[in-house]
């Protein structure tokens, strides 16, 4: 097989856009955000500044750091324009975020030349037409193309020869792999696995014991570049989620209750807009040491009511805190809803007056919650998001991350 899969990724996108809009910022360490770093330029990353970092810590690492508020409409406009450049070469595009996408160019090489030439043309056009740097990886599989684009950063092009895939892959650090975050990286380092090659040579039973059967099997396959996934050009999201970086806040209900309600409001609003309630609710709690714990529950019926989702998420977070009594600080909370279903109407239930009626969408109490949410949705559609909402959110939560940024980060259903 030939290397026909491209992964294009705009470099330090949000920060690069700010430097494009204000030439005085070019070459200087900048960060988008304030209380929390939303994105950092390469000049700031050289000092150790990273996205999700508290603003105070970022200033300690880089005293000359310049914070900017963010131009979110420009992010969307320029991100769409960059993806459109890919669309001029092939209709087979899988967009996975505002600033990155896969493209399959196997069917257009007779028009535009070999994949490496197409990738180079894309890079030159994005730079000339939009003024932004973009890195592109070209490989035979999606996983390897994404790794190649990371190796190509900043503003580069890497083409992986199918005859030398493992030679390229196995010398790279394991954290470049899809699905290997800080926690997994630390666990692998604990057994002496630091490169993808070392991971490939680790016995399967050892990985499964360390990471679980599913994750162990998946990472072992990717370490040998076994990735049969095709591009999903009409991909529909299998879940909807939102997260909030809190900095360092005490693990107390006056902190996590309003934060969870705000997250539930964002997620449930999107579920209702697409008439796609979900059965499985998952929460993620990240502590001060950046270690994360998740808890999930699968419900009998799919839900999309804000208060219902918030209460279920709150119960899961309380369980996390009970299971980890020594953790006193929370740095991030996240809610996700999966196992989505297409639902055009609410299925009512018999009035049995069960204890959990408030959390069952088809009961009288559950239906009342859903009806109230639909009224809120209509008001927001007409007058804007801030026109109406839940009082505990409006009064109890300091939004260090603008909702405009959150909307960009949250994928459409």
As annotated, the binding site includes 9, 99
Residues flagged as binding site for Mg(2+) = 9, 99
**96-102 long-range contacts, CB within 8 A, separation 24+:** 97/409, 97/411, 98/13, 98/408, 98/409, 99/9, 99/10, 99/13, 100/7, 100/8, 100/9, 100/10, 100/149, 101/7, 101/8, 102/5, 102/6, 102/7, 102/8, 102/142, 102/145, 102/146, 102/231
Options 18, 43, 94, 100, the catalytic residue: 100
* Cβ atoms 280, 338 nearer than 8 A: yes
Task: Give yes or no: 43 in active site.
Answer: no
| β-strand partners of 337 | 240, 281
3-class SS string, 355-404:
CCHHHCCCCHHHHHHHHHHHHHHHHHHHHCHHHCCCHHHHHHCCCCCCHH
Strand order in the sheet with 30-33: 37-40, 30-33, 66-68
CA distance linking residue 289 with residue 103, whole number of Å: 37
**Catalytic residue positions?**
100
């Amino acid at each position: 097989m030939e290397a026909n899969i491209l992964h294009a990724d705009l470099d330090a996108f949000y920060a690069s856009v700010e430097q494009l809009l204000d030439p005085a910022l070019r070459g200087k360490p900048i960060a988008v955000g304030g209380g929390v770093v939303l994105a950092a330029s390469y000049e700031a990353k050289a000092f150790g500044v990273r996205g999700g970092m508290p603003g105070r810590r970022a200033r300690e690492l880089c005293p000359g750091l310049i914070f900017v508020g963010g131009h979110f409409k420009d992010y969307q406009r320029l991100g769409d324009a960059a993806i459109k450049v890919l669309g001029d070469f092939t209709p087979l595009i899988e967009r996975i975020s505002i600033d990155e996408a896969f493209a399959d160019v196997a069917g257009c090489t007779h028009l535009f030349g070999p994949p490496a030439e197409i990738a180079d043309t894309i890079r030159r056009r994005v730079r000339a037409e939009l003024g932004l740097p973009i890195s592109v990886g070209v490989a035979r599989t999606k996983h390897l193309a994404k790794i190649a684009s990371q190796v190509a950063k900043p503003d580069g092009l890497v083409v992986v020869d199918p005859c030398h895939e493992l030679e390229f892959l196995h010398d790279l650090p394991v954290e470049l792999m899809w699905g290997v975050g800080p926690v997994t990286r630390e666990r692998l380092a604990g057994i002496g696995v630091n490169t993808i090659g070392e991971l490939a040579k680790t016995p399967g039973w050892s990985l499964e014991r360390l990471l679980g059967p599913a994750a162990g099997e998946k990472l072992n396959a990717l370490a040998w570049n076994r990735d049969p996934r095709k591009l999903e050009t009409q991909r529909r999201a299998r879940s909807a989620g939102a997260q909030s970086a809190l900095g360092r806040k005490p693990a107390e209900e006056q902190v996590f209750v309003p934060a969870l309600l705000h997250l539930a409001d964002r997620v449930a609003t999107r579920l209702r807009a697409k008439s796609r309630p979900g059965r499985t609710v998952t929460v993620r709690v990240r502590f001060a040491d950046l270690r994360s714990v998740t808890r999930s529950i699968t419900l009998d019926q799919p839900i999309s009511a804000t208060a219902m989702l918030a209460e279920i998420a709150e119960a899961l977070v309380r369980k996390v805190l009970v299971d980890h009594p020594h953790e006193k600080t929370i740095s991030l909370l996240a809610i996700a809803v999966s196992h989505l279903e297409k639902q055009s109407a609410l299925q009512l239930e018999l009035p049995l007056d069960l204890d959990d009626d408030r959390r069952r969408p088809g009961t009288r109490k559950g239906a009342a919650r859903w009806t109230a949410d639909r009224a809120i949705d209509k008001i927001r559609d007409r007058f804007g998001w801030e026109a109406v909402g839940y009082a505990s959110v409006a009064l109890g939560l300091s939004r260090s991350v603008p909702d405009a940024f959150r909307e960009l980060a949250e994928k459409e259903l």
